[in-house]
Amino acid sequence: MTRPVRLGMLTPSSNTALEPITCAMLAGVDVSAHFSRFKVMEIALSEQALRQFDASEILRAAELLAHAKVDVIAWNGTSASWLGFDRDESLCEQITAATGIKACTTVLAYRDLLRRIGAKRIGLVTPYRRDVQERIIANWNSAGLRCFAERHLSLQDNFSFAEVSEAMVAGMIEQVVREGCDVAVVLCTNMRGAGAAERLERGFGVPVLDSIAVTLWACLTAVGCDPSRVHGWGSLFTNPDLRAATAIPDHDDEGVR
């Protein structure tokens, strides 16, 4: 009997959207998702807020996931967008060294995906404060990921992000698409963009990449599962050009490939 595939995901403690949406995407797929939390209450650039993402706290949560004998451990969060891509590269190395399990992250998966599809004009949608948004745009631009249009909600309390309705998130996506972006990115794993992706893609013909969906795609790809087994959640899972992409970081940070 073949052992079932188990995906391990590290989750901010105040996140309420990530787990149910991930499980909904996996409905009908013989893959299970398992979650471990560490304390994240706010998203800001203060010393206190940045300390939440200390690697030692994340590694403790990763070691608990290893007890479930998961096949991959994903940091299902976007903090490296304002802290720097190198933070997630180092985190993946530390997780694998501590647990012996391959690791991936939301932000590194975004970098890989956006380079592979040749995105030139990214529409960035987040719930974050302006200063956080500006830091993200600077970091992404320096990695060759050009943020062409943006919308943000100036929220700080992480719990509040999931209280934003899917309709409001969809409206923000539509706004950046209408400004001329060639891909829309919902950058937050506690925001409800995944459910609107397929409908908006049909209407506008532009890929919509939601963070929760991107992390699941990265996990499935990392363990050799065909992402097309996930139905109804957008072109991310059905585009054959992305099925051979790797979700494991290659540490190449020089320009657009």
Residue 185: CATH number of its domain: 3.40.50.1860
Tell me: do 203 and 216 sit in the same domain.
Answer: no
Q: What is the CATH number of the domain that holds 64?
A: 3.40.50.12500
Tell me: do 102 and 132 sit in the same domain.
Answer: no
Tell me: do 104 and 189 sit in the same domain.
Answer: no
In a domain, 255, yes or no: no
Tell me: do 60 and 130 sit in the same domain.
Answer: no
pLDDT for the residue numbered 124: 98
pLDDT for the residue numbered 145: 97
Question: How many domains are contained in the chain?
Answer: 2
Distance CA 141, CA 255 (A): 10
Tell me: do 85 and 128 sit in the same domain.
Answer: no
Tell me: do 136 and 220 sit in the same domain.
Answer: no
In a domain, 12, yes or no: yes
Alpha helices in 179-241 (DSSP H): 194-204, 211-222
Tell me: do 130 and 19 sit in the same domain.
Answer: no
User: Which domain range does residue 160 map to?
Assistant: 118-209
Distance CA 133, CA 156 (A): 11
Residue-by-residue pLDDT tens, the chain, 257 positions: 477 899 999 999 999 999 999 999 999 999 999 999 999 999 999 999 999 999 999 999 999 999 999 999 999 999 999 999 999 999 999 999 999 999 999 999 999 999 999 999 999 999 999 999 999 999 999 999 999 999 999 999 999 999 999 999 999 999 999 999 999 999 999 999 999 999 999 999 999 999 999 999 999 999 999 999 999 999 999 987 765 444 444 434 333 22
pLDDT for the residue numbered 246: 45
pLDDT for the residue numbered 3: 78
Tell me: do 122 and 201 sit in the same domain.
Answer: yes
Tell me: do 101 and 222 sit in the same domain.
Answer: yes
In a domain, 26, yes or no: yes
In a domain, 87, yes or no: yes
In a domain, 25, yes or no: yes
Tell me: do 44 and 72 sit in the same domain.
Answer: yes
In a domain, 83, yes or no: yes
Contact 53, 27 (CB under 8 A): no
pLDDT for the residue numbered 242: 65
Tell me: do 105 and 9 sit in the same domain.
Answer: yes
Tell me: do 89 and 134 sit in the same domain.
Answer: no
Domain end (from 186, 209, 232): 209
In a domain, 257, yes or no: no
In a domain, 252, yes or no: no
Q: Helix 194-204 and helix 211-222: axis angle, to 10°? A: 100
